[in-house]
Amino acid sequence: MFVLGLTGSIGMGKSTVAAMFARRGALVHDSDAAVRRLYRPGGAAVPVVAAMFPDAVVGAGARVDRVRLGRAVFGDRAALAALEAAVHPLVAAERDRFLRRACRRGVRLAVVDVPLLFETGAERGVDASCVVSAPAFVQEARVLRRPGMTRDRLESVRARQMPDAEKRRRADIVIRTGLSKAATWRGVGRVAADLGTRRGGIWPPRPTRGPVAASGRTV
């Protein structure tokens, strides 16, 4: 099984590309969806967040209100870092369970959508990394159309994400989304067709083998 780590800064089109990989036959794990599950009543992250930010846990069933949580950490780097240090291992554990199941099923290409792939060192757990990128003006236009989004919030998110240029430099593959969805679809198709024929070195775990990197290229 080949494991592709998919990442990209806010507004670059990563969710769209992840959905395209799924349509191309890859099995996709969405880290943000995993966080939503962890924040639901009974989720493993609820007691963790409750201990750190009690006002962010609401309702009779005890769930994490992401809007309240966002307000609690907005502009507070230390609080955000503490939250990420507590929640990221829970997300990583979910991702490992996903990969274990995918491997047992004989999946050829598994895509793990990780917003902070390089920032958290998660690229060490994939066979190749893929960055979704678009010009800065396209990114801004997309993000500022979101409800409740302001330029200050956008800059706050950008400040804790690795610059797009650095992500592209580190990536094995770059998928551009600044042209058209048709062009992006073709690019995803080429990558999926290529990686679907490869054998990765991450899953199943082989202690004596390291990752198998794809050749760097832009599509």
The predicted structure's pLDDT at residue 152: 84
| pTM of the predicted structure, to 2 decimals | 0.84
For 44, other C-beta atoms within 10 Å of its C-beta total 15
The predicted structure's pLDDT at residue 126: 95
Tokens of 105: 């099923």
The predicted structure's pLDDT at residue 211: 47
Residue 209, CA distances (Å) to 50, 146, 173, 204, 206 in order: 40, 43, 21, 11, 5
Bridge-based pairing state of the strands 109-113 and 173-176 = unpaired
The predicted structure's pLDDT at residue 206: 66
The predicted structure's pLDDT at residue 209: 46
Mean pLDDT, residues 144-171 taken together? 88
Tokens 């750190």 belong to which residue? 52
Tokens of 81: 């870092």
Asked if residues 200 and 1 have their Cβ atoms less than 8 Å apart, the reply is: yes
Q: Which residues partner with 110 through β-bridges?
A: 3, 27
Mean pLDDT, residues 9-36 taken together? 94
Residue type, 11: G
The predicted structure's pLDDT at residue 203: 82
> Per residue in 38-88, pLDDT tens?
999 999 999 999 999 999 999 888 999 998 998 898 778 899 889 999 999
Asked if residues 107 and 1 have their Cβ atoms less than 8 Å apart, the reply is: yes
Task: Tell which residue, 36, 59, 63, 60, has the closest CA to residue 49.
Answer: 63
Task: Tell which residue, 20, 208, 32, has the closest CA to residue 117.
Answer: 32
Mean pLDDT, residues 182-186 taken together? 95
**DSSP three-state, residue 172:** coil
Asked if residues 173 and 131 have their Cβ atoms less than 8 Å apart, the reply is: yes
Whether omega for the bond prior to residue 204 falls within 30 degrees of 0, making it cis, is yes
Asked if residues 18 and 189 have their Cβ atoms less than 8 Å apart, the reply is: no
